[in-house]
Homo-oligomer: A and B are copies of this chain.
Amino acid sequence: MDPIFIYTMKVRDYECDTQGHVNNANYQHYFEVTRHEFLEKVGLNFYQLHKQGIDAVVSRVEIRYKVPLIGMDRFICTVSRLERVGLKYIFHQEIVRQSDNVLCARAKIEVVNLVNGKLSQPEVFDEAFKEYI
């Protein structure tokens, strides 16, 4: 099944640590950047939403690290699949090295919606994501 969203990036040298690999926490940044680009594609802007009192907040992440990326590697980061479970949205995401299509990391990221700081039905997201569920 094709991913519902793909974003291409390239490793920046400062993201690598003394082992020569992208530091683990930066994968979480890559996944976040990709979700925000996906939001932008469906007409939503993370910061504008925040100023309206709507905050998409990560409640749980699970990341499996398979093969390390190194400096200047090109890779794609996907939203492979999107699920709505209770009040949560679950983003299934992958990072794949572009040179050889090797899977580098796979994540399951749970996001909830706060409206003025209170856990809420994610209505603005239901509308925006309706084609992808």
Interface residues of A in 53-78 (CB under 8 A from B): 55, 57-65, 68, 70-72
Tell whether, in the assembled complex, residue A72 and residue B45 are in contact, meaning their CB atoms are under 8 Å apart: yes
Contacts of A23 in B (CB 8 A): 14, 32
Given known contacts A25-B28, A32-B13, A63-B61, A19 and B71 CB-to-CB distance under 8 angstroms: no
**Tier of interface size on chain A:** 35 or more
Nearest Cβ on chain B to A102's Cβ, whole angstroms: 15
Per assembly, the copies of the chain total 4
Consensus secondary structure, chain A interface: mixed
A22 to chain B, nearest CB (A): 10
A58 / chain B contacts, CB cutoff of 8 Å? 24, 65
Is A118 an interface residue, CB under 8 A from the partner? no
**Contact call A59/B64, Cβ cutoff below 8 A:** yes
Hey, which bits of chain A sit against chain B, CB under 8 A?
12-14, 16-20, 23-26, 28-29, 32-33, 36, 40, 45-47, 50, 55, 57-65, 68, 70-72
